[in-house]
A and B are shown apart, each in its own frame.
Chain A
Amino acid sequence: MKTTKPEKLKSVRYSKYGYWFILPFFIVYTVFSLWPLISTFYYSLFAYTTRNLKETITFTGLGNYLKLLGLADGEKAYFLKYLGNTLRIWVFNFIPQIALSLLAAAWLTDSRVRLRGKGAYKVLIYMPNIITAASISLLFYAFLSQYGPLMSVLRNAGLISQNSNIMSSTWETSLAISFILLWMWYGNTTLLLISGMMGINASLYEAADLDGASTWQKFTRITLPLLKPILVYVLVTSAIGGLQLYDIPALFNASGYIGLPDDTSTTVTMYIMRLHSTDTGRAAAVSIMLFLITVLISLFLFRAMRQSESGRRRKKAEGGGQS
């Protein structure tokens, strides 16, 4: 006989527990992310000027945005310049990175030419990704600076002129940063591509062999198309990561929040950091612009993934059997 009354629920429905479980996430998100996002947008509508240590805040509507884009009088389009810097650094990192990663991934998953010690390779090429970017940036800066070890050795060997200095050349600084990024991230990309390649049915390649396909043909006609979802993912995450570029350019050939030489290696995020407490309005506007670009890129991802899905469905309907 029961001594306690059975628990009476209005209806024995478990779905409402779902709400409880996700509540912490959404509450904290609203407070720490959603609200800041909204207020960032709000701040972007104001101009902050400091004269004689006194801060005046005036409403300017979209004025900040116009200034960023260089559409207001007398204002240089810093935002566009920094966006350009960021893009330049990213492109010269991404393109070689993708090529190198595809190559490495292909080699590490090749069943005919079996490399020994694959595990060790994977561990070592991924390693730079774990180390603090700030440290890596300073490390390379120390090596490559004008009076640093590398340059001195090259100078003594007569391979470069007495005055050469990576740090005073826009392109050389940019390429150096791109290289650091590549060096840090290609291991990650390679591992992702490896897992993608392992998901491709081996018998597709065997069938292609019987059809007489060359290695290059197999790569371009089978591997690449089937890797498309992962490649898109890599592209988008790399691009969004690229937009946020901060740690490395901030410590490599930089002073304050200016990327040397001559402000040509300053990224958008460095710009935000530079302005956030002095010209909050403009910093906010830059953030919002960044947000819009991120949304555009994500939409592109969405479309691209959708297309590949429907493309595959269409192919299935037409072609029938292929896995």
Chain B
Amino acid sequence: MAEVILKNIKKVYPNTEAKKHRKDGGEKLADLQITDEGVLAVQDFNLEIADKEFVVLVGPSGCGKSTTLRMVAGLEEISGGELYMGGRLMNDVAPKDRDIAMVFQNYALYPHMTVYENMAFSLKLKKTPKDEMDRKVREAAEILDITQYLDRKPKALSGGQRQRVAIGRAIVRNPQVFLMDEPLSNLDAKLRNQMRAELIKLRTRINTTFLYVTHDQTEAMTLGDRIVIMKGGVIQQIGTPQEVFDHPINLFVAGFIGSPQMNFFDGKLIQTNGVWQAETAGAVIPLGQKTQAALNAAGVAPMAVSIGIRPEHIQLETQAGAHTVAAQVDVSEMMGSEIHLHVSAEGKDVVVRVPTLELSEKWPNGLHRGDSFYFSFRHDLVHLFDTQNEETLL
């Protein structure tokens, strides 16, 4: 069984004299809590990964995702909490005995060895018999389509090929848990899309537990069975891609997941005759049934809120109304089958995604810079966040 359980995992970098007074490191350190012990790179990390599940850790730079991965790998010491793999406590176990394999962002291939030797290295150390070793290496090479490179050295390979060799090196070990640390970050956009698709295919052939780290939310959404979003060393939300997309637990997650980013408005939550409404930018937004029920269940009082609405959930209106917001077009990006409008409304920048056909129906001449129009919010897809703690009210 290869389930991985992280219980109250914590990572502290103890204070050195220099770090105590240091202000540089900018945003990286700003998010992290600094206690008397030191910098808390990861805190209160609790996660249960089921056998053969593909879990993605995602978040901005410095959020602690790589640190967590490295603790699972045994490359970093666990400052607090427990790590179980396959039911056994792994805190003190050396990496080579954890039955894991890891793919690094910079591939970490041994430059003076051929591809074959790179892949066979771990087997050689375990004193695997030669024919078995050969079989395993060639099997893995075939899966990844790199058989023709077996005799080459890494410097003779392209980035994508090197990445495959790195994956091959990991496959050969036949691990219980597959760790990947931003493996696609060094590839150019086109290659990245390609490799992403290949990873998804790979998963059908290698059925093990995956723990994958990335800063790219698209990768997280497409690859993961479940996503763990982190910020400042703390888990923000755990859920399936759909869950996280539809029901972000706080402002950060709402803004992090989804591209283009969700639009946020400052507004008020008011109750008129028992019916909840949101007020912002001169518009009164009626809220849908489910939202009403959720608000009632949560027992909230009228308050200041942050209102979130995704660009694709904004509707264009030709006429004003009580529930519409006036806007002026800044930039119109023709994306093909849809158009991204960057507009200003009441001094705020808002992004709207609209299918090209729909827009040309309402505005046969199209919408260009300087044009005015109105938009409304699809009232069952509005997100409401408490301005104090930034959590969702729903």
Contact = CB atoms under 8 A, between A and B. Distances in A.
Interface stretch (A7-15, A161-169, A310-318): A7-15
B93 A7 contact: yes
A126 B218 CA distance: 59
Contacts of A12: 74, 77, 91-95
Contacts, number: 26
B77 A6 contact: no
A7 B94 contact: yes
Contacts of A9: 92-94
Interface in B57-97: 74, 77, 91-97
Nearest to A5: B97
Interface residues of B, number: 10
A8 B74 CA distance: 12
Nearest to A15: B77
Contacts of B97: 2, 6-7
Interface in B94-131: 94-98
B95 to A, nearest CB: 7
Nearest to B88: A6
Nearest to A6: B97
Contacts of B91: 11-12
Contacts of B92: 8-12
A15 to B, nearest CB: 9
Nearest to B74: A12
Interface string A1-25: 0100011111111000000000000
Contacts of A11: 77, 91-92
Contacts of A6: 93-94, 97-98
A2 B176 CA distance: 13
Interface string A41-58: 000000000000000000
B372 to A, nearest CB: 43
Which residue of A9, A11, A12 has the most chain B CB atoms within 10 A of its CB atom?
A12
A10 B93 CA distance: 9
Interface of A: 2, 6-13
26 contacts: A2-B97, A6-B93, A6-B94, A6-B97, A6-B98, A7-B93, A7-B94, A7-B96, A7-B97, A8-B92, A8-B93, A9-B92, A9-B93, A9-B94, A10-B92, A11-B77, A11-B91, A11-B92, A12-B74, A12-B77, A12-B91, A12-B92, A12-B93, A12-B94, A12-B95, A13-B77
Given A9-B92, A11-B91, A12-B95, 16 more contacts: A2-B97, A6-B93, A6-B97, A7-B93, A7-B94, A7-B96, A7-B97, A8-B92, A8-B93, A9-B93, A9-B94, A10-B92, A11-B92, A12-B92, A12-B93, A13-B77
